[in-house]
Structure 1
């Protein structure tokens, strides 16, 4: 048996093997034939020259251990995201890949695993999300020099179905707000400003600028393992959202006489308002009485976007109002709403062209002459 890295039969092969052994921390690899050892050594040297060589020691860490190492490094993520990722690592990645070295993961293995997840009844969106966590952790292994490529990248994924979105009319928002009683102002705020639920319930009185008709979104509440945690908004982006005049009056009445640090929309006990409690105690029954199915407090954000677009807001304005990371995100979600304006644009272009043509005809109309038979000359008419 030829041994590599350590030695292979023949003086030349032995020297090369020993040099490679020193570079690879004196690990040993065994071959039954000398030519196989020499080919392997040649491949190592080519990989080194290209900067593609991976120390086998580094890639023997298990997927489960590496996924937790990757997660610990994600300090930029919000606590809710960390908790969600951690749950997936514990429940799905550790269960299947916990004892498998990252070097042994193949695209075919990943594809088969995803198929099993889909067959178990998980929704396509959930399967894609689980795959994302595995892929991100293995991409980090590539970045760290433990893998030469990401075996989870490019594998077939189940097609996720978009969740239906509910867009309320002005009248429907008013009806829902009325049914929510003391929380009518909250419903209107969600339905007309586009704030996320966690942003709205974290608002303090000092965040409401009645003179400028603006709400400053600087905080957000997130529930992590049953606890309410106040942090920054999604993507850590602070923003100002516009407030319609009718809502300014309602907010002014709501916050009158209250201290700047008080919550604008507190629970009955004065603490942070939880989504689950609000839905159970107020919202779901109110929506049913209003004849509105499929709507949620967070879903009112879609209504705000729809009403703003109907009022003539541009993609950029809607993106800023909703706190999207880019206008592309806004178009990905609401492009079909902007498409409703295509007929309006076409009609306006037609009208503009007609006006331009009429103006041109008036300014370039030729002088018409008629013969004055009685005067024996020509006069302009």
Structure 2
């Protein structure tokens, strides 16, 4: 159905629509004014109403005042569509600013007796949960940090994961030796026994401090420091993987300080002779290699006959025994060659005649030809031998300290001691055996005084 402008004669006829009959003259006048202001004169006669719905009268121009306010002029030759209800619902600037203010202020909420931190992420169009805290100020601080990261474009939506689930994913990615991985498992077992599978973003620094303080009451300080190190490692990796946005283990305060290293046990020559006499005939060369080459336990029992360089009179260290198999040493500095004396080479040559063949060609397998198990060897060989030699609490590592002490007392340089001991740096050698180097200070002082007295005597003469 078409309609014409109010100025046309056809408009003088009364409308047939019941809704149009109900409109008064004032509404007709306002509609006419609106139409004249919004439509150019050249296109007034060409405007048409939309098709009427079944059972509903056509829209009339004087009904514009009921639905919307006057609109801005449309381009020439184009008709404006009828106003809709959506066009009249405009949000006020004050309401938008209030909404922005609500999103920028701290949004910490109380939940189950604790304070929850959250932040609104415009990219997601929703709130992101950041974790729960015991104090409201901690929750608000966490929200401000997340807001700052969001403004810088560095905010990462944390993923929800439990501590136990994360540890099970993290440990296989370490790529360490089997013995080191077992140590990680043992330490993490203490952590999960306390925290269980709690969400990682819900664990706070305060809880970690309380855990370490309680853990230190029944464990050695070295164990507490190792546990704190594992906490730092796993939470740092959780940040890198995007499970949490910040690590709560950065500033832990309940870590005991490292205690000063105790005095090393070094055997006297008479004690070494007593130990060798008390050792079984089959294992006596093993004790001799330990005290004259300073090998670690894994290096000693991982020594193969190919590592005995007979012509060069050296012992080469390139393997260590671990869980019944030969593996590379822990560091590149452990790969070394050590000079062997005539007595040691003769003892090894005699031992080779009675040594059983082993699959790994080991110098010191068990009498049945199998690799040595450390705990069995300590129980069956070391403990009875040190008991007969009246050397209680002697360990195999004490023989390594005895070897280093002998080198230092014979005036060998710190660099040589570092090399044959397989230390990563000379600083490590000084940290362990530095007190042995200090014993030569009195000799140096006496030599200096003797030199000064001789110089003074020459000047007076």
**TM-score interval w.r.t. the shorter chain?**
0.7 to 0.9
Q: Pick the aligned partner of 1:11 from 96, 113, 126.
A: 96
Q: Is the 8 A contact 2:289 2:344 kept in 1?
A: yes
User: Judging changes above 3 Å, is the alpha-carbon distance between structure 1 residues 328 and 65 closer, same or farther for their aligned structure 2 residues?
Assistant: farther
1:210–1:23 CA distance, 2 compared to 1 (3 A): farther
SS at match of 1:267: coil
* 1:171-214 Cα shifts (integer Å, max 9, x gaps): 21121011112211111211121111111001000101123232
1:282-301 correspondence runs (5 A): 282-301=381-400
Equivalent residue number for residue 94 of structure 1: 192
Change in Cα spacing, 1:287 to 1:46, as seen in structure 2 (3 Å) is same
- Which residue pairs with 2:303 in the alignment? 203
**Counterpart contact for 1:175–1:290, Cα < 8 Å:** yes
**Residue of structure 2 aligned with 1:340, choices 423, 439, 443:** 439
Question: Where does residue 213 of structure 2 map in the other structure?
Answer: 115
Q: Pick from 156, 168, 172 the counterpart of residue 55 of structure 1.
A: 156
Is contact 1:190–1:300 with CA below 8 Å preserved after alignment?
yes
Corresponding residue of 1:316: 415
| Aligned twin of 2:82 | none
| 2:148 pairs with one of 42, 46, 69 | 46
Is the counterpart of residue 169 in structure 1 residue 271 in structure 2?
A: no
Unaligned 5+ runs, structure 2: 1-93, 105-118, 131-139
Contact kept in structure 2, 1:107 and 1:151, CA below 8 Å = yes
Residues 97 and 313 (structure 1 numbering): CA distance in 2 closer, same or farther, change over 3 Å? farther
Aligned to 1:128: 225
Listed as ranges, the matches of 1:115-194 within 5 Å are 115-119=213-217, 121-144=218-241, 146-159=244-257, 161=259, 162=261, 165-182=264-281, 183-194=283-294
- In structure 2, do the counterparts of structure 1 residues 253 and 41 end up closer, same or farther at CA, with 3 Å as the change threshold? closer
CA 1:147 to 1:180, structure 2 compared with 1: closer, same or farther past 3 Å? farther
- Could you say which residue in structure 2 is the equivalent of 1:374? none
Deviation string 1:40-68 (CA, Å, 9 cap, x unpaired) is: 987645324557x442423x322222233
Residue deviations 1:57-102 (CA, integer Å, cap 9, x gap): 23x3222222333322211x2110001111222x212222232233
Say yes or no: does 1:214 pair with 2:314: yes
User: Normalising to structure 2: TM-score of the pair?
Assistant: 0.65
Q: Are residues 1:73 and 2:173 paired?
A: yes
Give 2:430's match in structure 1, choosing from 331, 338, 362.
Answer: 331
Residue deviations 1:303-339 (CA, integer Å, cap 9, x gap): 2222221122332222222222222222222222122
d(CA) in 1 for partners of 2:141 and 2:392? Answer: 67
Range 198-207 or range 209-218, more displaced: 209-218
CA contact (8 A) 1:192 1:307 kept: no
Aligned to 2:316, the other structure's residue is in SS state strand
**Is contact 1:315–1:330 with CA below 8 Å preserved after alignment?**
yes
Shift of 1:352: 4.2
**CA 1:249/1:62 → structure 2, altered by over 3 Å: closer, same or farther?**
same
From 178, 181, 184, the counterpart of 1:82 = 181
For 1:5, the equivalent position in structure 2 comes to none
Report the count of equivalent residues.
338
Matched, 1:235 2:331: yes
Deviation track 1:20-54 (CA, whole Å, cap 9, x = no partner) reads: 63445744569xxxxxxx99987645324557x44
How far residue 154 of structure 1 moved from its aligned partner, in angstroms, is 3.7
| Distance 1:241-1:27 versus aligned 2 partners, 3 A rule | farther
Note closer, same or farther for the CA distance 1:24–1:84 as it changes in structure 2 (3 Å cut): farther
Indicate the residue corresponding to 2:3 in structure 1.
none
**Kept in 2: contact 1:106–1:152 (CA 8 A):** no
Q: 1:41 to 1:246 in 2, by over 3 A?
A: closer
| Alignment root-mean-square deviation, CA | 3.4
Q: CA deviation at 1:264?
A: 0.9
Preserved CA contact (<8 Å) 1:177 1:188: yes
Contact 1:215 1:241 in 2 (8 A): yes
C-alpha deviation, 1:232, in angstroms: 1.4
1:125-151: CA deviation from partner (whole Å, max 9, x where unpaired): 222222222222122234445333452
**Would the alpha carbon gap of residues 150 and 349 (structure 1) be closer, same or farther in structure 2, given more than 3 Å must change?**
farther
Q: Distance in 2 between matches of 1:168 and 1:279?
A: 19
